[in-house]
Structure 1
């Protein structure tokens, strides 16, 4: 018996940002994944997600910038791992790097297109 495959469901590596439910204000963000740009807003207790490439080349980059209407401004470059990379933001909107937070800190570094700190 011959089985023809006509559709492929390929899981791409994703990055999920989780924003603390204890936060008091929304955050605005911009995803930049190899110049595929998406803008949005995160509410307390919410988050956002974007995906990388199945076979990225040496020019691949993925970053997210986020800010509030005050002094908060962050940007982080991400090397996504399959199947998912997680970033947890605390109530202040800062990345939670504490032990047990769930943040994949080893996949994060300073942005290449924005000078805001990670």
Structure 2
């Protein structure tokens, strides 16, 4: 019978396993090669912060958007790792993207939604 409690639990479990896989694969969080345990813990903390950022960006995308279901490396390469000129002013920060950047509208929408989040 579709939609039973067992199927929902397995679906959630599978989704959690996929998120853990994304954390390891796309953010390289399983690379703890330092000889110091403190350094490895700090590295894992930084990777978890990056994961949280990308997961939040994906959640802020419109439900019908491509970005809502995009893999973490796609979001990282197309929305985060972009060349831009940043100018700091007294009252604001100006970010100038290249004119050939194909995802300007998506980035502007996500930036506006991110700015509305509580601190």
With the length of structure 2 as denominator, give the TM-score of the two structures: 0.26
Bigger-Rg structure (1/2): 2
Which structure is higher in RCO with an 8 Å CA cutoff and minimum separation 6? 1
Pick the structure with more helix per residue: 2
TM-score (norm 1): 0.26
